[in-house]
């Protein structure tokens, strides 16, 4: 059988297996050519590949201006996260680019990321410069394996802009598409010159993976998500794919409504999230993603610790990149066995895995407080509080204020 015919038949059996699949897509065995060498712990970096927009939130002079700046940054980060491209090729692998792009062309651009192990870490930063102020740092930890949950923290401390969130996915198969319900939320905080802190609760949209029958899976966003500010401003973002709204793929309509005591008409922003959009107030361009993005800077693999994503998956990723799937499978098997052994040892010893940078809380107070304002469903969600114990960031004494607004007992973190 030729390579292409082989791919075609394994794709067909993959699709057949999807049709009867329930549960967690991370557990599903996909054909090798659809595997990405990048772990899901790297994905939170997409929130910030235009660090200027993240920093610019702090520069908004009014509550309205800041709410618009948050919306703009959010829309742009959709584009980055959903059109993920050369992340598979990070760094020095550019000689292999041909191999990947040719596969991408025949099989479509969407790939199945590596399913992180419990305790996996990913660190990186975007360096400081005049346009974006301070260094922007990222800390990611895989905080659960069954189900997979990833917690993350992005900070530009000089600007006082911080994002904390966690992300999980529930997947199902319906009408020929994979439906991905995102579970989790993010909280963005901005420290104002007045000393006050403004908060934004960000819920996440649904995703659909279309194009499966054609062998070229791609992502479409669906339904609605919200960004609720503690100042009362609320963004409602609706997504439509091909054949609805404007007939274009990747369309969205965002409505920014003022709090009840302010009487101005809402901003309506319409466009496609992978290109540009316009604001009804000014009919000026609202967002534009044609400017270059900046990939996160990550320490070279040789300098990384055992739990850091690119070090941990190095053998598997190399196998996938080079098309040596047997060696990828061997390395993957090793990692999985080691994980199973760890879990067995823990249950035998009556211990549990301890998280490194986050603490799980059953109820996120910010979600509950701000979620009420737009009747969030569900009314409460759990959360992960950042412990502030990473070298890339500030020592813990500087961070008690942050723990304070999360209204979490600080003594928990001072052991």
Residue ranges binding ligand CLR (CB under 6 A)? 25, 30, 34, 43, 46, 81-82, 110-113, 167, 169, 178, 180, 182, 207, 209, 217, 219
Q: Do 72 and 278 meet the contact criterion of CB atoms below 8 Å apart?
A: no
- C-beta closer to ligand CLR: residue 231 or 235: 235
For residues 99 and 112, the answer to whether their CB atoms sit within 8 Å is no
Cβ atoms of 161 and 57 within 8 Å: the answer is: yes
Question: Minimum distance between the CB of residue 153 and ligand CLR, rounded to whole angstroms?
Answer: 14
Q: DSSP state, 158?
A: T
Closer residue to ligand CLR, CB minimum distance, 26 or 231? 26
Give the integer Cα–Cα distance in Å for 217 and 209.
6
Closest distance to ligand CLR from the beta carbon of 112 (Å): 4
Pairing of strands 35-39, 112-114: parallel
3-state secondary structure (DSSP) of residue 200: strand
- Cβ closest to ligand CLR, residue 137 vs residue 177: 177
Query: CA-CA distance, 301 to 298, in Å (whole number)?
Result: 8
383/386 Cα distance (integer angstroms): 10
Smallest distance from the beta carbon of 14 to ligand CLR, in angstroms? 7
Q: Which residue has the tokens 């970096």?
A: 45
Question: What tokens does 232 get?
Answer: 């009362």
Compare residues 108 and 315 and give the one whose CB is closer to ligand CLR. Answer: 108
Peptide bond into 378 cis (omega under 30): yes
DSSP type of residue 265:
P
CB of 205 to ligand CLR, least distance (A): 9
Of 218 and 413, CB closest to ligand CLR = 218
**Of residues 27 and 65, the one with the C-beta less far from ligand CLR:** 27
Q: Which is nearer to ligand CLR, 166 or 321 (CB)?
A: 166
| Whole-angstrom distance, CA of residue 182 vs CA of residue 177 | 15
Give 40's DSSP letter. Answer: G
CB of 46 vs ligand CLR, minimal distance in Å: 6
CB of 30 to ligand CLR, least distance (A): 6
Residue nearer to ligand CLR on the CB measure, 43 or 313: 43
Count Cβ neighbours within 10 Å for each residue of 135-154 and write b for 16 or more, e otherwise. bbbbbbbbbbbeebbbbbbb
Query: Helix, strand, or coil here: 167?
Result: strand
CB of 28 to ligand CLR, least distance (A): 8
The residue among 42 and 279 lying less far from ligand CLR, judged by its C-beta, is 42
Distance CA 278, CA 344 (A): 55
- Residue 43 C-beta: closest distance to ligand CLR, Å: 4
- Minimum CB–partner distance for residue 309 and ligand CLR (Å): 14
- By beta-carbon proximity to ligand CLR, the closer residue of 89 and 403 is 89
Q: Can you say whether residue 320 is alpha, beta or left, with left for phi > 0 and alpha for psi between -120 and 50 degrees? A: alpha
CA pair distance 344, 337, nearest whole angstrom: 11
Strand partners, 229: 200
d(CA 407, CA 409): 7
CB of 35 to ligand CLR, least distance (A): 9
Could you give the CA distance from residue 319 to residue 312 in angstroms, rounded to a whole number? 13
């Amino acid at each position: 059988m030729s390579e292409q015919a082989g791919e075609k038949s394994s794709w067909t059996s993959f699709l057949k297996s999807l049709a009867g699949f329930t549960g967690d897509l991370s557990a599903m065995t996909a054909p090798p050519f659809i595997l990405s060498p990048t772990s899901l712990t790297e994905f939170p970096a997409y929130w910030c590949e235009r660090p200027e927009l993240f920093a610019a939130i702090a520069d908004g002079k009014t509550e309205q201006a800041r709410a618009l700046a948050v919306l703009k940054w959010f829309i742009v980060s959709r584009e980055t996260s959903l059109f993920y491209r050369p992340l598979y090729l990070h760094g020095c692998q550019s000689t292999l680019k041909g191999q990947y792009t040719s596969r991408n062309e025949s099989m479509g651009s969407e790939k199945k990321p590596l399913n992180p192990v419990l305790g996996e870490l990913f660190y990186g930063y975007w360096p400081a410069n005049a346009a974006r102020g301070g260094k922007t740092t990222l800390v990611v930890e895989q905080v659960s394996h069954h189900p997979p949950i990833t917690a993350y923290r992005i900070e530009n401390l000089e600007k006082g802009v911080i994002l904390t969130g966690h992300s999980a996915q529930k997947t199902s198969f319906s009408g020929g598409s994979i439906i991905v319900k995102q579970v989790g939320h993010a909280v963005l905080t901005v420290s104002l010159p007045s000393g006050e802190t403004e908060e934004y609760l960000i819920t996440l949209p649904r995703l659909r993976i279309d194009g499966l029958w054609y062998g070229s899976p791609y992502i479409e966003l669906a339904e609605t998500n919200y960004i609720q500010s503690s100042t009362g401003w609320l963004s409602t973002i609706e997504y439509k794919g091909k054949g609805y709204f404007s007939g274009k793929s990747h369309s969205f309509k965002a409505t920014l409504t003022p709090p009840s005591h302010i009487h101005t008409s809402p901003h309506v922003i319409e466009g496609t999230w992978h290109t540009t959009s316009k604001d009804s107030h000014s009919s000026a361009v609202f967002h534009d993603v044609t400017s270059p993005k900046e990939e996160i800077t990550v320490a070279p693999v040789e300098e990384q610790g055992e739990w850091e994503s690119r070090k941990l998956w190095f053998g598997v990723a190399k196998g996938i990149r080079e098309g040596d799937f047997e060696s990828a499978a061997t390395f993957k098997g090793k990692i999985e066995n080691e994980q199973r052994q760890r879990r067995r040892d823990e249950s035998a010893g009556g211990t549990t895995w301890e998280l490194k940078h986050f603490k799980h809380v059953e109820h996120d107070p910010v979600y509950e407080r701000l979620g009420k304002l737009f009747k969030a469903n569900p009314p409460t969600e759990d959360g992960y509080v950042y412990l502030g114990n990473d070298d890339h960031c500030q020592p813990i004494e500087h961070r008690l204020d942050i723990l304070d607004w999360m209204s979490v007992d600080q003594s928990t973190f001072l052991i």
